[in-house]
């Protein structure tokens, strides 16, 4: 019988660098599960989400922190991401189990990589690659946007005053980090 | 060389000295100088040669409109041709060389063209150089090309880096002269987000070049104070050295910031940044550009624009000459005379075309009324001017003012047309401005200082009020409305010598007249025929006078004759800046497969597949070339088992109550009845009936499917599926999400595939042939509990599976599969072996599904259902797409088995001539089949399915070869399809 | 007036005062045998060949602005015949052959310069497709040449061979391809047509068709009604607008294509270079500017201007393939309206309305087609049968399912 | 260009992919007697107006929604942006 085991190796695991007084960190064990609201049963789905997470699904372009620390990000009218810390490869099952068929779930954990950018120069660095207006008046804490940076589809979430979470496709993780690092070194 | 022309004052730092070279000669200047002001200070009058006649030329202006003073700046790979000396900030160690001459600048051999100029008038080249025909390319054109062009590229890779960025604001103010500063102050104080950008390195615009007072202090000082206030506002961003070069749709502006061009080296930082500014509103306060008056030999070094002469004196503390006469048709020219005299420069004469009293008192200057300049003397530097009455005045500089043209350029970038204003004899912005833009100050024809300040404030206030801001308090500083009378006067008619209009391209008054004579009378014909306005300055000083002369010829007014409208960019933008970071290996992102590290450590050669890097083959020691590796990989797979990372195939999660019905509409073949736990091959058509993509789709549960697409079409298929879901069948409950990057997927192929997988798949899952037959799928666990998906599908034609694990386990999975496969000699294989095996098996891939072929061509016509609604089935039935003699996909093998087939060969029936009329089809894919020991090919040939066994010619004239090939079944291996079911 | 070196010499010595207008400025007559709508390259060439090859003189060319103001006045000047499909290649090869004798034919130097065109390829699949194309070119009597990376390195050392994201694996040359001074083509044809009696009428906009009983009998214009036995539409980017006046919908969308030129530079590029993995092609004009372009902007447009993303995309392609041009500056950009057809190939055909003919759908490739388009359209107008090399360029081909889709992109014009 | 997304607000057009005339929503009935002709016209003939044009844009680098954007093809002025799904339903499309 097989006695092999598989060791995970997430593409950007361990990234923690500081350039231009700005820190770039890959959060560990981040799980991402997409939830799609069934057509005609959106209200029931939203109610189930609220019941489970304690907060309502936010509007499109916004995110909200659930009581358990999970972040709900509404990406479109009928779909959202649940982003939470979860080390094992069963995140989808966990979310599906809690929402009990009220939504369609797909595991997106390995589809994405995430980098957290924090520091006074974070916005200045992002100005070089992010087409979204990140001025605090235009992009509040919790706001999110899916856009394109250096030819890479990217999800950006403002998680704090000077902190942003950036997520992009895992296969292009190296180019993604390179784009952000270059932005930082170009303003340093 | 000493700074013989340095005079008092100016905004230069005299405490510091910087050294630079021009044509190898060391000179000195000060911080705050431009290269042009420093050259003038050093008495360097001759700085370049013109484009066509190689006439000696000097500095003509003090700004970005400069036509003459173009240099090759810097050395080696940093060499930057056609750089305007007038906007180049001086730095220590600057090297500049003049350009466009053969021999030295002083003794340019090409100047002979000037003496031949009677034969080189407008459009001469359209009328000759035609005989004999071959001589154009062999003789005439090379000569023309060599003598044309201006500066030289280094031919080396640009060593600097560039960046881009995105800015957003409520109000973009373009130009930081009096109107722009006032606009920014008004908007800034209201709290609006403001960007104030100016191409100059010192903000303030003409205030830095004039002696006029604002708010009771010198204008330049007022500007500095305004800038201090603006800099302190958190809502205002000041951007010096930033040219807003283009007005694009919906308030988007292109801007180029020059970050390190004023430094000796960029120090590894971006040389320039290309900003895309998204503005809600904009105020264009770009000022005005002075225009010359044409007269005989008005192109001599020393003939300059009057306002520029004033700039050099007031801003840079330099006089372009010791004896400076002024030639003007307007009041403004007089200020040059007055300012020079105030600085102690001798102004012998003010030549005014008007019969009007003196505008102001200029001590020492003769006021010559009602006169013009007809000629000049001094080939390499002005010595004297000759007036209409014949008198000669010795001067070394002539300051010419023909009036000022508002800088309307950006108002035209969305095809807006300027309108003519007689009172200032100039075009001003029309009504059709780019939406969101308003114009203020001289750019709008408000030609006096007080008017510019007032308009800057008023326009900015109106703009921000429209955005809901309450205008802040911004008092208007006191300023004067200086005299601005100007009469239309374009060229000195009494002059019989050539009078230049476009200095760089050598277009003269005579050329415009000839253009008219030959029927090139519309403005665009004039420009194209004479090359007027086509030079690096885009005719900023030349277009309007030329238009005026054409108007004279036609007897029409200037606005009737036409307008020239401007297109981006306002001033030239380096291609490097437009390219930003996207060059070299950073041109596009790399996508790596989950087992990339393993592959790299195991001898893989990688190949670009779209943005992916895939392992092409895995070389082993002793193998002499790629074929050795590929043959081995194929044979090992067919003999035992091979493993290939196939993650790059697109994967789309399809869920919903209507998922099955949806798939049934997007695939040409049936999907409604696919059982849970089964996979089906699907063929997708475009709506026009052409085969588009193929792949397998697995039904994981009642309402959950996993679709695979080809690597190339993953994004496109997803887009089309969303279109079908949202636009065609909007009430279907179906949801799509890409999982391509989420699953590391491996093909495990070969007779021992199941034996290998049994060691990896956890025992709870029965993968026997009975429990998990061909085209089965399911969720399993591997390696003690890691979730995985298993699909029993085969691209190679062997017993094969694809096993998918979450991508984070991909590299480890490859390792485990190889370890577990050791006993079977498991072999990793790359895309080449994959390709060989699919050709051996007769599977169509990208070369066959090339967007030109139908299911009918591919031999899959019967898969296209006509009994259900699905994309593409109706148009696939058009008569000429179903022709019996349509090309069909079949196999080919060389009659002489030792020969290699060539992909791209065309087929010719034996006995026919090789011509397009006899073209029977083409070879789409070929490979050497190690299994068969000869070359095999797939291709399309007319009636192919009925021509089995026929020998045809496969011709490849581009290789100079042809060979006989036999038409055979495309299924070279296991035609009965038994292996995958084993 | 015949142009020659001697004429230039004589005029030069006498102050260049003897030059005559290159074309007359006639008022429209009430009646013509053929009225051609559109004084661009194709319209003027059609008039020229009708007069020269078919002896027809009673012809008017109506131009709403100034002649040559359409796409012949705003393109990247490339000529080539490197097509693949039988519906196209013989036509474009005939065009190239006409270019080769054009200047002597119409006594005007249009600077036809066969400096070669190169298409780079970066993958094996691209190579295979180029081999197929090269062989099709040979079968149609054209020239083609495959080059290895080593040959390219020797010939074009400034391309990025070392650090490229998409390495150059070779290229397809057509040595007879090259460039032409585009405006001069319009002027040369206009001059030739005018000399043979064709009325070229500028500032004359067609505002309607006179159609009676499904027969077109003339046009309404801003300068009055003009009757004609045949009306030939030839308006490229304005095809949709003009044919709508006749009540026809077309398999065409109008899109904008931008093109760019740099400041003048001493010679750096020998011929035309096309980058197969990015959107970039470039040549150098006789005046020294690098003339380059890329993709169309991609959305329907009648505005002769484009937007920034395409400018950047094109520059990225340029920097990726030849990073030596980083310090060359983009001087001028322009936008032309392309009549993008549903399969990327053109139409030269009669319409369902008797006496009304249509020439269009040239996409971004109309310039190189100018001579053949003019000759084939003239052939159709004079003889009412298609010229053999244009016989597939029919309006009804989509209904029949006979596509001429070189790029295999299907019925989405912005992808061609 | 900037497209004012009904849910997300103004976004740069570079985030979108263009398809063409919004009439592409009105896919003909495949079972109609004139289906061949109707699909030919649907697939190939375009109004191609110089003026207002309702057209399909896909927010590929965004929320993946298809939009119907009404834009003037001579000025690029955008006068309305709607969710294509809503437009499709309003035109009577369902399953």
| Whole-number Å distance between alpha carbons of C68 and C185 | 9
Is the pLDDT reported for residue C71 higher than 80?
Answer: yes
CA distance B732 to chain D (A): 5
What SS3 class is residue B758?
helix
| Whole-number Å distance between alpha carbons of D16 and C248 | 31
CA distance D12 to chain A (A): 7
| Whole-number Å distance between alpha carbons of B819 and C381 | 75
| pLDDT of res. B142 | 87
Interface test with D, best of A147, A152, A156 (most D CBs within 10 A): A147
Please state, for a pLDDT cut of 90, what percent of chain B lies above it. Answer: 94
Question: C402 at the D interface (CB within 8 A)?
Answer: no
Chain D, window 31-60: residues with a beta carbon less than 8 angstroms from a chain B beta carbon:
31, 35-36, 39-40, 43, 56, 58, 60
Q: Which of C86, C264, C312 sits opposite B150 (nearest CB)?
A: C264
- Which stretches does DSSP call E strand in B41-159? 48-49, 56-57, 70-73, 80-84, 94-98
Is the pLDDT reported for residue C19 higher than 60?
Answer: yes
| pLDDT of res. D4 | 98
Question: What chains are in contact with D, requiring at least 3 Cβ pairs below 8 Å?
Answer: A, B, C
Q: Read out DSSP for B913-936?
A: -SSGGGEEEEEEEEEEETTTTEEE
Q: What is the mean pLDDT of chain C?
A: 96
Q: CA B805, B810, B813, B814 torsion: positive or negative?
A: positive
Chain A, window 132-161: residues with a beta carbon less than 8 angstroms from a chain D beta carbon:
145-148, 153
> Which chain B residue has its CA at the smallest distance from A38's CA?
B733
Question: D64 at the A interface (CB within 8 A)?
Answer: yes
B643-663 mean pLDDT? 98
B467 membership: H or E segment, kind and range = none
> Which chain B residue has its CA at the smallest distance from A134's CA?
B168
What SS3 class is residue A59?
coil
B838-853 mean pLDDT? 97
Specify whether the CB–CB gap between A63 and A4 falls below 8 A: no
Question: HEC string of B407-455?
Answer: CCHHHHCCCCCCEEEHHHCEEECCCCCCCCEEECHHHHCCCCHHHHHHH
Q: Contact A60/D63, CB-based, under 8 Å?
A: yes
Q: Read out DSSP for B679-704?
A: EEEEEEE-TTSBEEEEEEEEEEETTE
CA distance D89 to chain C (A): 24
Torsion of CA B810, B816, B819, B822, to 10 degrees: -80
C381-389 mean pLDDT? 98
For residue C298, report the phi and psi dihedrals to the nearest 5 degrees. 105, -5
| Whole-number Å distance between alpha carbons of C226 and C28 | 8
- Rounded to a whole number of angstroms, the CA Rg of chain C reads 21
Q: Contact B731/D65, CB-based, under 8 Å?
A: no
Is the pLDDT reported for residue C277 higher than 90?
Answer: no
| Whole-number Å distance between alpha carbons of B726 and B735 | 10
Interface test with D, best of B727, B865, B870, B881 (most D CBs within 10 A): B727
| Whole-number Å distance between alpha carbons of B83 and B75 | 13
CA distance C31 to chain D (A): 30
- Distance between start and end Cα atoms, chain D: 33
pLDDT tens-digit profile of B790-807?
999 999 999 999 999 999
Residues of B in contact with A128 (CB under 8 A): 163-166, 273
Interface test with B, best of A32, A95, A110, A177 (most B CBs within 10 A): A110
| Whole-number Å distance between alpha carbons of C369 and C72 | 11
Question: HEC string of C190-207?
Answer: HHHHHHCCCEEECCCCEE
| pLDDT of res. A2 | 52
Of C315, C312, C318, C311, which Cα lies nearest the Cα of C335? C311
pLDDT tens-digit profile of B261-309?
999 999 999 999 999 999 999 999 999 999 999 999 999 999 999 999 9
Q: Which of D20, D44, D71 sits opposite C251 (nearest CB)?
A: D44
- Distance between start and end Cα atoms, chain B: 92
C281-289 mean pLDDT? 95
Question: CB count, 10 Å around CB of C120?
Answer: 27
| pLDDT of res. B394 | 98
ipTM higher than the 0.95 cut: yes
Q: Contact A4/B653, CB-based, under 8 Å?
A: no
pLDDT tens-digit profile of D44-66?
999 999 999 999 999 999 999 99
CB under 8 A, 24+ apart: contacts of B217-224:
B219/B178, B219/B449, B219/B479, B220/B11, B220/B315, B222/B477, B223/B176, B223/B178, B223/B181
Q: Which of D20, D47, D73 sits opposite C249 (nearest CB)?
A: D47
Length of chain A (residues): 188
- Those residues of chain A that have pLDDT short of 70 are 1-2
Q: How confident is the model at residue B1 (pLDDT cuts 50, 70, 90)?
A: low
Q: Contact B252/D1, CB-based, under 8 Å?
A: yes
CA distance A184 to chain D (A): 23
Q: What single DSSP character describes residue B478?
A: P
pLDDT tens-digit profile of B549-597?
999 999 999 999 988 789 999 999 999 999 999 999 999 999 999 999 9
| Whole-number Å distance between alpha carbons of B744 and B902 | 34
C237-248 mean pLDDT? 96
Is the pLDDT reported for residue B903 higher than 90?
Answer: yes
What SS3 class is residue D47?
coil
Q: Checking DSSP bridges between strand A79-85 and strand A30-36, what pairing results, if any? A: antiparallel
**3-state percent breakdown (helix, strand, coil) of chain B, nearest 5:** 25, 30, 45
CA distance D40 to chain A (A): 32
Please state, for a pLDDT cut of 70, what percent of chain D lies above it. Answer: 100
CA distance B703 to chain D (A): 16
Q: CA C373, C374, C375, C377 torsion: positive or negative?
A: positive
Predicted structure pTM score: 0.97
Question: What chains are in contact with C, requiring at least 3 Cβ pairs below 8 Å?
Answer: B, D
């Amino acid at each position: 019988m097989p006695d092999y085991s598989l060791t995970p190796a997430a593409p950007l695991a361990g990234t923690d660098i500081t350039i231009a007084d700005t820190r770039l960190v890959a959060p560990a064990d981040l799980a991402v599960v997409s939830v799609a609201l069934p057509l005609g049963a959106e209200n029931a789905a939203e109610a189930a989400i609220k019941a489970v997470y304690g907060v309502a699904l936010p509007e499109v372009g916004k995110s909200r922190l659930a009581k358990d620390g999970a972040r709900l990000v509404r990406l479109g009218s009928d779909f959202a991401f649940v982003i939470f810390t979860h080390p094992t490869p069963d995140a989808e099952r966990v979310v599906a189990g809690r929402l009990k068929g009220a939504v369609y779930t797909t595991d997106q954990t390995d589809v994405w990589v995430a980098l957290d950018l924090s520091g006074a120069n974070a916005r200045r660095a992002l100005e070089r690659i992010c087409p979204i207006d990140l001025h605090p008046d235009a992009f509040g804490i919790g706001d999110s946007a899916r856009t394109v940076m250096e030819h890479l589809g990217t999800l950006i979430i403002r998680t704090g005053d000077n902190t942003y979470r950036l997520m992009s496709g895992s296969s292009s993780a190296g180019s993604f980090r390179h784009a952000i690092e270059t932005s930082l070194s170009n303003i340093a | 060389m000493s700074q013989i022309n340095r005079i008092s004052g100016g905004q230069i730092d005299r405490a510091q000295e910087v050294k630079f070279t021009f044509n190898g000669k060391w000179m000195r200047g000060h911080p705050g100088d431009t290269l042009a002001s420093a050259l003038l200070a050093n008495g360097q009058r001759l700085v370049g040669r013109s484009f066509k006649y190689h006439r000696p030329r000097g500095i003509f202006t003090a700004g970005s409109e400069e036509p003459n003073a173009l240099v090759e700046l810097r050395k080696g790979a940093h060499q930057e041709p056609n750089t305007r000396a007038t906007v180049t900030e001086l730095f220590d160690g600057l090297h500049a060389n003049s350009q466009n001459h053969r021999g030295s600048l002083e003794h340019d051999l090409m100047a002979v063209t000037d003496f031949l100029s009677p034969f080189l008038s407008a459009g001469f080249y359209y009328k000759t150089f035609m005989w004999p025909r071959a001589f154009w390319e062999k003789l005439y054109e090379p000569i023309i090309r060599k003598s044309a062009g201006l500066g030289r590229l280094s031919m080396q890779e640009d060593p600097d880096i560039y960046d881009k960025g995105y800015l957003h604001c409520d109000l973009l103010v373009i130009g930081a002269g009096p109107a722009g500063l006032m606009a920014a102050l008004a908007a800034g104080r209201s709290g609006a987000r403001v960007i104030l950008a100016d191409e100059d390195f010192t903000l303030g615009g003409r205030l830095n070049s004039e002696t006029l007072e604002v708010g009771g202090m010198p204008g330049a000082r007022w500007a500095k104070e305004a800038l201090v206030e603006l800099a302190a506002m958190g809502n205002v961003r000041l951007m010096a050295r930033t040219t807003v070069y283009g007005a694009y749709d919906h308030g988007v502006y292109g801007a180029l910031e020059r970050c390190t061009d004023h430094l000796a080296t960029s120090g590894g930082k971006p040389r320039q940044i290309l900003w895309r500014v998204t503005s809600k509103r904009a105020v264009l306060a770009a000022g005005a550009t002075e225009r010359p008056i044409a007269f005989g030999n008005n192109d001599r070094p020393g003939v300059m624009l009057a306002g520029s002469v004033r700039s050099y004196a007031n801003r840079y503390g330099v006089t372009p000459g010791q004896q400076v006469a002024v030639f003007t048709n307007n009041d403004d020219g007089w200020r040059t005379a007055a300012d020079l005299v105030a600085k102690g420069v001798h102004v012998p004469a003010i030549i005014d075309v008007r019969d009007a009293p003196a505008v102001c008192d200029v001590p020492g200057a003769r006021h010559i009324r009602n006169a013009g300049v007809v000629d000049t003397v001094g080939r390499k530097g002005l010595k004297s001017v000759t007036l209409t009455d014949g008198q000669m005045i010795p001067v070394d500089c002539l300051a010419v003012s023909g009036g000022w043209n508002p800088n309307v350029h950006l108002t035209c970038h969305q095809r807006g047309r300027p309108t003519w204003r007689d009172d200032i004899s100039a075009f001003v912005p029309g009504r059709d401005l780019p939406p969101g833009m308003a114009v203020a100050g001289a750019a709008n024809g408000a030609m006096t200082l007080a008017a510019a300040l007032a308009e800057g404030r008023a326009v900015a206030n109106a703009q921000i009020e429209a955005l809901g801001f309450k205008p802040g308090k911004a008092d208007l500083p006191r300023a004067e409305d200086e005299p601005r009378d100007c009469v239309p006067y374009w060229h000195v008619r009494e002059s019989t010598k050539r009078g230049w209009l476009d200095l760089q391209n050598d277009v003269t008054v005579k050329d415009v007249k000839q253009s008219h004579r030959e029927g090139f009378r519309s403005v665009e014909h004039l420009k194209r025929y004479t090359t007027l306005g086509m030079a690096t300055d885009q005719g900023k000083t030349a277009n309007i006078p030329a238009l005026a002369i054409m108007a004279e010829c036609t007897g029409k007014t200037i606005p009737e004759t036409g307008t020239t409208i401007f297109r981006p960019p306002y001033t030239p933008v380096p291609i490097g800046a437009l390219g930003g970071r996207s060059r070299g290996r950073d041109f596009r992102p790399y996508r790596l497969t989950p087992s990339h590290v393993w592959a790299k450590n195991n001898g893989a050669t990688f190949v670009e597949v779209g943005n992916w890097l895939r392992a092409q083959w895995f070389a082993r020691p002793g193998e002499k070339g790629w074929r050795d590796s590929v043959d081995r990989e194929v044979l090992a797979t067919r003999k035992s088992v091979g493993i290939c990372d196939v993650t790059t195939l697109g994967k789309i999660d399809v869920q919903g109550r209507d998922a099955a019905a949806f798939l049934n509409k997007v695939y040409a073949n049936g999907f409604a009845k696919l059982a849970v736990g089964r996979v089906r091959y699907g063929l997708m058509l475009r709506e026009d009936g052409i085969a588009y993509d193929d792949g397998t789709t697995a039904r994981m549960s009642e309402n959950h499917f996993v679709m695979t697409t080809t690597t190339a079409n993953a994004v496109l298929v997803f887009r089309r599926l969303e279109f079908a879901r949202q636009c065609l069948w909007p009430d279907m409950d179906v949801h799509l999400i890409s999982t391509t990057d989420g699953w590391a997927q491996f093909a495990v192929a070969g007779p021992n595939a199941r034996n290998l997988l049994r060691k990896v798949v956890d025992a709870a899952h029965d993968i026997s042939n009975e429990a998990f037959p061909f085209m089965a799928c399911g969720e399993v666990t591997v390696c003690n509990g890691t979730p995985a998906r298993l699909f029993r599908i085969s691209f190679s034609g062997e017993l094969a599976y694809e096993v998918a694990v979450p991508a984070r386990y991909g590299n480890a999975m490859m390792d485990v599969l190889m370890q577990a496969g050791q006993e079977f000699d498991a072999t990793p294989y790359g895309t080449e072996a994959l390709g060989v095996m699919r050709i051996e098996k007769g599977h169509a891939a990208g070369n066959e599904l090339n967007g030109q072929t139908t299911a009918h061509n591919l031999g899959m016509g019967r898969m296209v259902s006509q009994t259900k609604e699905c994309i593409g089935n109706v148009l696939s039935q058009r008569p000429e797409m179903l022709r019996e003699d349509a090309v069909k996909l079949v196999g080919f093998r060389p009659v002489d088995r030792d020969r290699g087939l060539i992909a791209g060969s065309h087929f010719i029936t034996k006995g026919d001539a090789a011509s397009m009329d006899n073209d029977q089809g083409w070879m789409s894919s070929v490979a050497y089949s190690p299994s068969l020991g000869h070359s095999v090919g797939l291709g399309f040939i007319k009636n192919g399915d009925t021509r089995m066994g026929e020998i045809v010619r496969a011709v490849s004239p581009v290789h100079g070869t042809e060979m006989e090939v036999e038409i055979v079944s495309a299924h070279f291996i296991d035609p009965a399809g038994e292996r995958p079911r084993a | 007036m015949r142009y020659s070196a001697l004429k230039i010499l004589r005029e030069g010595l006498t102050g260049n005062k003897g030059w005559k207008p290159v074309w007359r400025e006639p008022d429209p007559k009430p009646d013509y045998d053929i009225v051609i709508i559109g004084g661009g390259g194709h319209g003027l060439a059609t008039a020229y060949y009708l007069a020269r090859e078919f002896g027809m003189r009673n012809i008017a060319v109506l131009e709403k602005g100034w002649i040559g103001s359409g796409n012949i006045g705003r393109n990247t000047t490339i000529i080539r015949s490197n097509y693949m499909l039988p519906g196209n290649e013989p036509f474009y090869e005939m065009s190239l052959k006409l270019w080769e004798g054009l200047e002597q034919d119409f006594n005007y130097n249009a600077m036809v310069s066969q400096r070669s065109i190169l298409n780079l390829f970066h993958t094996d699949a691209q190579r295979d497709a180029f081999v197929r194309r090269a062989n099709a070119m040979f079968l149609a009597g054209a020239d083609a040449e495959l080059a290895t990376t080593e040959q390219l390195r020797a010939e074009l050392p400034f391309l990025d061979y070392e650090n490229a994201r998409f390495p150059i694996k070779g290229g397809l040359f057509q040595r007879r391809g090259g460039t032409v001074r585009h405006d001069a083509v319009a002027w040369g044809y206009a001059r030739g047509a005018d000399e043979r009696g064709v009325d070229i009428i500028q500032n004359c906009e067609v505002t309607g068709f006179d159609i009676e009983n499904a027969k077109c009998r003339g046009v309404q214009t801003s300068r009055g009604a003009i009757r004609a036995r045949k009306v030939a539409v030839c308006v490229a980017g304005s095809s949709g607008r003009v044919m709508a006046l006749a009540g026809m919908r077309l398999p065409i969308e109008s899109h904008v294509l931008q093109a760019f030129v740099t400041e003048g530079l001493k010679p750096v590029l020998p011929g035309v270079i096309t980058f197969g993995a990015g959107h970039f092609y470039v040549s150098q004009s006789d005046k020294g500017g690098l003339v380059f372009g890329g993709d169309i902007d991609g959305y329907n447009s009648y505005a002769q201007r484009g937007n920034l993303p395409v400018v950047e995309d094109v520059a990225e392609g340029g920097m990726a393939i030849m990073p030596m041009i980083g310090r060359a500056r983009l001087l001028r950009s322009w936008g032309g309206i392309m009549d993008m057809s549903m399969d990327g190939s053109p139409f030269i055909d009669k319409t369902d309305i008797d006496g009304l003919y249509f020439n269009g759908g040239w996409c971004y490739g109309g310039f190189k087609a100018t001579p053949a388009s003019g000759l084939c359209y003239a052939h159709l107008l004079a003889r009412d049968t298609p010229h053999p090399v244009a016989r597939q360029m029919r309006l009804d081909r989509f209904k029949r399912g006979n596509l001429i889709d070189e790029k295999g992109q299907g019925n989405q014009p912005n992808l061609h | 260009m900037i497209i004012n997304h009904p849910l997300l607000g103004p976004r740069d057009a570079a985030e979108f992919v263009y398809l063409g005339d919004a009439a592409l929503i009105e896919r003909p009935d495949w079972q109609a007697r004139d289906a061949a002709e109707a699909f030919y016209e649907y697939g190939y003939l375009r109004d191609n107006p110089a003026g207002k044009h309702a057209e399909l844009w896909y927010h590929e680098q965004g929320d993946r929604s298809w939009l119907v954007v009404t834009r003037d093809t001579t000025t690029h002025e955008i006068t309305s942006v709607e969710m294509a799904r809503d437009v499709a339903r309003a035109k009577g499309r369902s399953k």
